[in-house]
Structure 1
């Protein structure tokens, strides 16, 4: 390690200098050197007769500026500390971290270069006084496509967006998504995680990281997170493991002898309708009575002598609580008529509810209770699609639209019906029929709201009445039909049950004459959203037991979904989408109020078998 004084003409900026993005304030440094001289030497290594500056790049650039200003000459000499080329990367990075903050792109490249020399994240962090998590994130960013790192260097791609792009290792996909999202971090993150499961989701927490990885599941770490959170790359595996764990827990209750046991990933939509059941309390045994009295006496003595907050009291209190809790349990009579519902809560814990099960025997012999074929949210989506198709038919039939309005008004004003019991509520509120794109992959049905916005875009907000009065009778009829259609609602919301309003909707759907099967066919996305057991049950009902048993051997759920889709008959529709599924026997108007509970919610529901 020696100090030499070469000419400025002998110096070059080393390609090993880890600061490649041009630093700021070089002009100001040139002014300072002109006024005070070079206060700190440069650091270089020798190669091919030239000296390559790898530490002190800003000072070297400032000297070149002074040469252009004719303040110094290329033949002037300057102090340079001579080092070996092998030391260049490490010393350059150390020198730059101690001075002006390096550009993120330079840091990314520098850490990658150190990793390539054999140093791991912990060694790099210790050597340069950085947090291991910071170094790890820089190394993750170094795996981005080189073109994207170049964009970071040009300040054309933010670090937030770059972190989001690390959710995939595919360089081509990184580049395409970055371009499609226009560099917006949240859009990139959403596009790259549509087929992944958040590791903070209830299902993943319920399964557990160890169990998931033990089955070969992989996780993509999210650089937005503070710890090791990210996304599970195999959502099907997460779901299968969660269902297996739920089934095992359900079997424990079946072994005890509960009359009905239901296990599903989502909370059952009809629990609110079932009478809750609570553990019975028994009298303590003689030994338990004596121990409780002894505990109370000991706690009282300690509190009197040493104070009520003495730590010796805590274990005694815990023992007392344990004995008391043991006095509460479901007895044989309760178990014989009771039901247990198990599901996965949002925090990953086991949701649990005990209720009095229905007395009638269950048709399925394979387990203790019928499991609805369609989950809550899927059931709601299917009825939304049905609503959209019926709305389309109403929008094309002005005469029917007028009849629907008259029926709703007459029902409320002449017969005392409530607005919420009608498929059309006379109020200015459009009914949303948005569903996931994968459920509409086989249909070209558009929302009536979109069609109306296009056809009647010329109607002004100011002077609307005058514009409507000048419309032709045909346009007025079309406007009426479209507006009425937008308010007709046959959706059975997640967690709800069909009621009088849905019966009224069925009447409207039948009057429209619409053929649901001609406007929508079941896409693969429908079966992807169903449980494995539900698909097998569906196949057994629609095609027969041999076909169901054959498909039950298919291991991958995605393959099972394809097989079920191909085996179902042409023009098959899920039960919630069939016209007439929510029909009820006609009743007198005065019976309407009998449907209502104290909170105004509909009490009647259809059986699980009818919904399936």
Structure 2
């Protein structure tokens, strides 16, 4: 016969006057945690007590009940009630719902207190979000919800923002399939299909950090900090119907602009409007572009304008600002740290004084009629207007008394087309000189680098070499002297040299975006402007000015001028004599290598880093893996070898950022390896083999070419 299950008896509940309750010393909670007593009191005052107190009768020495009750579980609620009594918002004798424990129970008071505090399950964030959402749908404002639950409005917005995440992903999160941080990363966009697509892509990968999810969701957007967005303004973009993606869970620098086409259209429209206003000044031509390539003004003559004079009022303002600045400096001279308001005021004065240095420049009407201006956007997103450039074909004929003009000619436009129409550049993505096409994901063969990519890479190397040479006058002098010897002595040949001492400034027909913002380009421009500020404006005064320079100054100026003649560019040679021959290009690169070794050129020190734009996104996967393997090791290559090319290139950029890895065209040539190669070639004697016998050997040699060589195979 089965024994009967013993039924349990629950503790009775009753209302006890507040003044009959006291705190128990058996309460295990000692450390303050959670919301404050004041906040809990406000909550009880608004919605009354949601949970009763657990109490025990207080016994006297003989074990008889005294009529008082101690509280081992519920001490914070008691203190909140006590605060309400002190505030006269609750009567001292108000009945308090309590669960009364049997004083004869063998369960200790500490046991009750501990159980109440640890046997409670914290609310899942998803449940909190759904509760907030339910309140919002019933008409409660975000501010009311935040006030009711003693949290910030931003936290409520963050939780409500989770409503934009796909229900499928919410279910994954509810089953602990992703972290809260990962879930929050999906809120940057409201497209459920895209969210699910990204999760499917990362869920099976080792790389599914929140930053990776955000990057994938925003890879086709534009940062609000992008100069195009700053130029147009977020208000104008949103007024035109553009959507801004925002991240409520971390700093997003203003968010991401989703409609790139709309943004580019607004940029073009605003630039055109600005150009029309500038054209009204009387310029012959205006060129408009978001960004102009490096050296775009090199063959143009810049007009010498006259800066507008300061008015009496402006001069008085400058004097007052200088006096105030000097007074503040003197007052706080010797202070360890300036007060915030003083430091802010000094900054304001410096900004105001700097504004007076940027004076408007006036030009002669005749000069304006033959000159033009470039209109674009600077790196900070402000309008950039560069006025006063004259094209060679627009120059007025000048006859000097002591010169014959018979040999002079006016250079006409190559196609005879008018060049006065504004030009808005448009990006066309090309890879190796070809318009980007479908990616060959299965290309595992290590093919030579595309010719255009090598040209772009060596363009940056040429700039860095020019900058380095300009800072080493002795090497620059020797380089020019070397070229002179090649020209003068008949035993040498002069073609295929890197030092073009006629100083025909090297142009870069193929160049990567941002070439003019490289450290070398900025250093060259700064040095050129510094010399131009010192040089006389009139040509007749130049010789006497040069004579007055010290030897060191002449040497430095010589090196600066000579550096413009360096040409270390790779270009595809014409085997049939239609242009520069492959042998000439090879000789030029070899000559450039000698100069690079002499100035100790290091492209890593020059600021070059492999990125998706300048290399990794331009080569096949095999090249990307080769770069990571060389720069970061075999283990790093294995971590990304399963990724698609786009993701692989992005991860490779991160892995190679500080490794100092360089592609072959940017490395220094191994002179010892060159010597071995030349010796091997010199050992080959005898007559040349017939073409049909050398084809295979030539193809094999191309495939196994020395990767340290500076020229990529064709």
When Rg is computed on C-alpha atoms for both structures, the one with the higher figure is: 2
> TM-score, normalized by length of structure 1?
0.47
Which has a greater percent of helix? Answer: 1
> TM-score, normalized by length of structure 2?
0.41
